[in-house]
Structure formats: structure tokens, C-alpha cells
Amino acid sequence: MPEATVRTSSADVQLASEYFHAYSVVGLLAVIGVLFVAVAFGAGRLLRPVAPTPEKLLTYECGVDPVGEGWAHTQVRYYVYAFLYVIFAVDSIFLFPWATVFAAPGFGGATLVEMFIFLGFLAVGLLYAWKKGVLEWT
């Protein structure tokens, strides 16, 4: 009995050693990555010229000096356009895997029906947004 326990213990130690070796490689790569970034920032700080002037210290946006307060109201329709774009862009990504599955033998009819249901949901969402006047730019 004790011999079997020793063998199991030795095998467990070897398995744990292999397990931690795999993570040590990941840890080493993480340390190298952090060092690379630190050296790059340090080199940039040492090599860049430092000549602050009042013009360089001004806040600007898109090359234009700021006028007024920093708080401005933005209409929600811009976010709605962005949201609709993201929805349809992400949903269009699902069309590419569908096309590859549709080309595979044995998946034709069912896959075609599923995709038309999916496109129907997209069309209903687009129709709803259009009826609500979300797509009008005024």
C-alpha cells in the first residue's frame, strides 16, 4: 500500500510541476511585456525635448481654442444612430459564419430558414426605428 501512495504522490508532484511551468511561461511573458512598456515610456521621457510655452499649455480640441464652458448638451439622436450602427454591424457579422455553414452539405434548408428568421427580426427592428422617426436627421 505505501508504494502505491508514493507513486501517486510522485505523479502528482510531476503534474503540479508541469502545471506551474506552463503558468511560469505566461508570467514571464507578462513581466517582459510590462518591462517593454516601462522602458519605452522611460526612453520617451528621456529623449523628448521639454520646452513648455503658454501656447503649448492651452487646452484645445481639434486644433480650435475652446470657447465658453466645457459642458455642452448633445442630442440623443447621435447616440441612437451609433447604437443602430453597432446593432446592424454586429448582426451582419453573423452572416459570414452562416454562409459557411449554409455551404456545408446537410445544413441547407434549416440554416436558410433560421437566417431568414434572423433577418426578419433585423427588418422589424429597422422598421420600428424608421416608424418612430429615429432615422430622420433633422
Q: What is the mean pLDDT of the chain?
A: 79
| pLDDT computed for residue 6 by the predictor | 46
CA distance 13 to 6: 10
pLDDT in tens, 1-31: 455 444 557 777 787 778 788 888 899 999 9
| pLDDT computed for residue 138 by the predictor | 66
66 pLDDT band, cuts 50/70/90, is low
CA distance 19 to 75: 54
CA distance 20 to 24: 6
* pTM: predicted TM-score of the whole model, two decimal places: 0.38
